[in-house]
Amino acid sequence: MASTGASSSLLLFTSSVLLFAALCAASVQYAPGLSENFYDESCPQAAAIVRSYVLKYLTNDSSFAGAFNRLQFHDCWVQGCDGSVLLNSTSTNSAEREAHVNFGLRGLKEVDEIKAALEYACPGVVSCADLLILAARDATSIAGGLSWSVGLGRRDSRVSNDLMADGNLPFPVFPFDILVDNFARKNFSAREMVVLSGAHTIGRSHCNGILPHIYNFTGGNNETDIDPTLNPGFAAYLKRNCPFGNRDNSIPIDSTSGKFDNAYYKNVLNGKGVFITDSTLITTPLGNSIVSSFAEGDSTFFQEFADAMVKMGNLGVLTGSQGEIRQKCQFVN
């Protein structure tokens, strides 16, 4: 039997280790200029305002969880997390939101409503770029995923161009190797690409991105030309809901589309990926291995997704005197 002194030393050592582990787990690396307490004095209610509106939207329509996730990704992947995806086109410029890859982008009106509430509470303080980061985090946690700490202090870009969006964002027809290359250009690994693909566990999609999966798959202009890896029953379901040439219908992109879970990976393994970029994840041994691991009940998907979202939020941020704080997210000041 250990002595009292030995037991006390062991307890002290164990407590120290646990405290160190907790501190390590809590420490998040943010881009220079960002901090978790950025608005503590200038607008302490900012995060609560964003969350209250996101909760309202998801209560009325759970698919908005996917919309807010998509907005963060489609913003950050093009010249960084700077709110540029929200800007309107002008008479001399076609903005990102008009890009082919941004077809059916949702949540823009809702973001404007949140921004108006932030401006009422704290005029000229909270950026549209930070709003998107907070909304994506809150949408994920409200839908059942993990929450995570976010660094804040981004400023908004005055520049937005549709060609930049089409040149940076992955299209839903990309095969595995092209997806890996696209993510590598942003310093994300193949595993992180598969992790972030898991955002398709929530939300809806217009048929625009689904049609190439179920018609003319090999480019032969053939309506019966379907991706052969698709589950036949699921392919028939997609065809019923996305008739040939219909870009505007929308369907859930996951069997539990209102809930953040790992059902997406189970669906992909069973030939029920909505997009080509979903089905392609299991066409290589590497992708298949990662998808299979995330399909397990005790997978690390939730934590890895949170970590990847934090990492994405660091891309190309504007801070300090760069950019501006837009009064309205659709327009430069």
Q: pLDDT digit string (tens) for 112-129? A: 999 999 999 999 999 999
Name the DSSP class of 71: H
Question: d(Cα 41, Cα 47) in Å, to the nearest integer?
Answer: 13
- Residue type (1 letter), 121: A
What is the C-alpha to C-alpha distance for residues 143 and 150, in angstroms, rounded to an integer? Answer: 18
- Mean pLDDT in residue range 101-112: 95
The binding site consists of: 75, 78, 80, 82, 84, 96, 170, 200-201, 254, 261
> Within the chain, what is the greatest distance between any pair of CA atoms?
82
Annotated binding site for substrate: 170
Query: How far, in Å, CA of 295 to CA of 314, rounded?
Result: 28
Query: DSSP alpha helices (H): ranges in the chain?
Result: 4-26, 46-60, 64-76, 108-121, 128-142, 162-168, 176-184, 190-197, 211-214, 232-241, 263-269, 276-279, 285-294, 301-312
Residue 100 bears catalytic tag: no
Kindly tell me the number of DSSP H helices and DSSP E strands found in the chain. 14, 2
Distance CA 244, CA 247 (A): 8
Torsion of CA 119, 80, 95, 195, to 10 degrees: -100
Judge contact between 35 and 153, C-beta under 8 A.
Answer: yes
Q: Poorest-confidence range of 14-18, 134-138, 255-259, 293-297? A: 14-18
Regarding beta strands 204-206 and 250-252, do their DSSP bridges make them parallel or antiparallel, or are they unpaired? antiparallel
pTM of the predicted structure, to 2 decimals: 0.89
Strand partners, 156: 324
Residue tagged active-site, from 74, 100, 206, 213: 74
State the amino acid at position 169 in one-letter form: L
SS3 assignment, position 296? coil
- Compute the distance between CA of residue 121 and CA of residue 41 in angstroms, rounded to an integer: 13
Q: Which residues are annotated as a binding site for heme b?
A: 200
pLDDT at 219: 81
Residue 16: is its pLDDT beyond 50?
no
Average pLDDT over residues 259-280: 96
Write the pLDDT tens digit of every residue in 273-316: 999 999 999 999 999 999 999 999 888 999 999 999 999 999 99
- Structure token digits, residue 99: 């890009």
Residues for the chain: how many in total? 333
Residues pairing with 38 in the sheet: none
| Region at 106 (left for phi over 0; alpha for psi -120 to 50; beta for the rest) | beta
What is residue 206's predicted lDDT score, i.e. its pLDDT? 94
Q: Give CA–CA dist 87/44, Å, rounded.
A: 26
Residue with tokens 């809590």: 26
